[in-house]
Structure 1
Amino acid sequence: MRELGKLYGLGIGPGDPELLTLKAYRILTTVPVIAYPISENGNSLARAIAAKFIRFDQIEIPICLPFNVKEPSQPYYDKAAEEIAEHLKVGQDVAVLCEGEPMLYGSFMYLFQRLSGQFPTEVVPGISSTLASAAMLGVPLTYRNDVLSIIPATLDEIQLRDRLTVADAAIIIKLGRHFTKVCKILDELGLLHRALYIERATQTNQQIIPITEVEATEVPYWSLVLIPSQTQGC
């Protein structure tokens, strides 16, 4: 009986290729097959991060994912899982590149759910953009017994307000078209003066802009608002 290939979920960090772990680098440069998400226009941040490490003889599987929240993503993940499975069945290891940390809002999670029960699987942790952003902004997130909340901006206003009301420190992700709504709530809660905005953290086109000067229509998906703790350090 043919030995099955192994599925790897590689966390490749938020953008700077030098933030790849040694383990992710080793696997990325030795597996015969790599897969990565692409947008409808064919762009792939994951591939761009790893581009200089990809060998010419590696098989590449672009995974087209809808970034339109109104379109169901299940059929896309089903199709990608089927294509990846064909390589695993014949003994070829496959590494799926995932921006940030695979198990924290990572696209790899949905392939993991579909394939890990059938094939040997290993997840390699990566640096999340949430934590990398704190480093880029130069602010400690939490002290002592603070609780950190990671909140998707896609929540409705009531949920956002409720969660931010009780947060010691917070990171609001998936901003994009929800930026105006987020700023409105932060202002209502008296948090706007603490809020820090960053987009494309660690990438060559990273920008840190005072939140009151951000043009709402230009806010990309790869942006977040960080509200650091008010607790004082030792």
Structure 2
Amino acid sequence: MSYRTGHLYGLGIGPGDPELLTLKALRILKSVPVIAYPISAEKRSLAYSIVEQYLRGNQIEVPILLPFKLTESSQPYYDKAANKLVAYLSQGKSVAILCEGNPFFFGTFIYLYIRLADKFPTTVVPGVSSIMASASALGIPLSCSNDIFLVLSAILPPEVLASRLALADAAVIIKIGRHFCKVCNVLQQLRLMEKAKFIEYATMSSQKIIPIKEVNPDNVPYFSMILIPSHTVFS
């Protein structure tokens, strides 16, 4: 007798606006029996809130606890989550793992993919990245022609940020949060502050676009970024 396993989906659900779901993501979201999504220690899930209105109401929901404050290793959490999902996939139930933005671009899904993709049939559905959504919200072309475009994490040391930004025609710095002052110091050093644009919670109902010099450094969320538009476009 043949044994059939469930299908694993890494579902890119976009940056926050529920209307930015792709048609493919929406079709899979409504069809699978199991929906898995990351939650914080406070039991909140941005990913779930994005798609909640589209869920059927009779699907199995599997919250995945992750340590978003980065004060401890996340690997044991992914091990536990993978084991939990194996139970459903082994029963032949397909599972869609919700991932904000694009699953293979700084996505939490990556760490489940490397644990599960060699054991079960897997499909990754791309989603709209918050970087592209932020550029649209700000009305800023990011790059064109022969630009060198970089995406950098604000967590990097200041000397690394400075050396990389010095090579770029356009750049985006993500995961700002408590690193805001460090990033601004680097931008001042490179004379990029006048060009830099700040946005938080892009496309969400809480979206804010604030002049970078007016940002309160004590109140910068993780889901914020600084965009430095193309020299080519704005030369």
TM-score normalised according to structure 2 size: 0.98
Aligned partner letter, 2:99:
C
Partner letter of residue 127 of structure 1? V
Match for 2:119: what amino acid? Q
Code of the aligned partner of 1:123 = V
Partner AA of 1:185 in structure 2: V
Superposed, 1:7-46 pairs within 5 Å as 7-46=8-47
Identity of aligned residues (%): 56
Q: CA deviation at 1:75?
A: 0.4
Unaligned runs of 5+ residues in structure 2 are: none
d(CA) in 1 for partners of 2:227 and 2:167? 15
Q: How far apart, in 1, do the equivalents of 2:69 and 2:13 lie?
A: 24
Structure 2 SS opposite 1:34? strand
Deviations 1:16-56 (A, max 9, x none): 00000000000000100000001110110000000101121
- In structure 1, C-alpha distance between the alignment counterparts of 2:42 and 2:233, rounded to whole Å: 46
Tell whether the 8 Å contact from 2:141 to 2:233 is kept in structure 1 after alignment.
no
Name the counterpart of 1:210.
Answer: 211
Displacement after TM superposition at 1:69 (Å) = 1.7
**How do residues 72-87 of structure 1 correspond to structure 2 at under 5 angstroms?**
72-87=73-88
Residue deviations 1:112-154 (CA, integer Å, cap 9, x gap): 0000000000000000001110000001001100011000000
Q: Is the CA contact (8 Å cut-off) linking 2:38 and 2:63 kept in structure 1?
A: yes
Q: TM-score, normalised by structure 1?
A: 0.98
Distance of 2:113 and 2:29 partners within structure 1: 18
For 1:190, give the aligned amino acid. Answer: R
Amino acid paired to 1:154 = I
Matches of 1:13 and 1:78, distance apart in 2: 25
Counterpart of 1:228, as a letter, is: P
Matches of 2:200 and 2:55 in 1, distance apart? Answer: 26
Contact 1:40 1:66 in 2 (8 A): yes
User: Per the alignment, in what secondary structure is the counterpart of residue 194 of structure 2?
Assistant: helix
**C-alpha distance in 2 between matches for 1:113 and 1:164:** 31
Cα distance in 2, alignment partners of residues 42 and 231 from structure 1: 44
The CA RMSD measured in Å over matched residues stands at 0.8
Residue matched to 1:160: 161
Instruction: Map 1:98-137 to 2 at 5 A.
Output: 98-137=99-138
Deviation of 1:68 after TM superposition, in Å, equals: 2.2
> SS at the partner of 1:9?
strand
Counterparts of 2:89 and 2:188 in 1: how far apart (Å)? Answer: 51
Runs of 4+, deviation exceeding 4 Å = none
Q: Is the 8 A contact 2:65 2:77 kept in 1?
A: yes
User: Which 5+ residue runs of structure 1 have no aligned equivalent?
Assistant: none
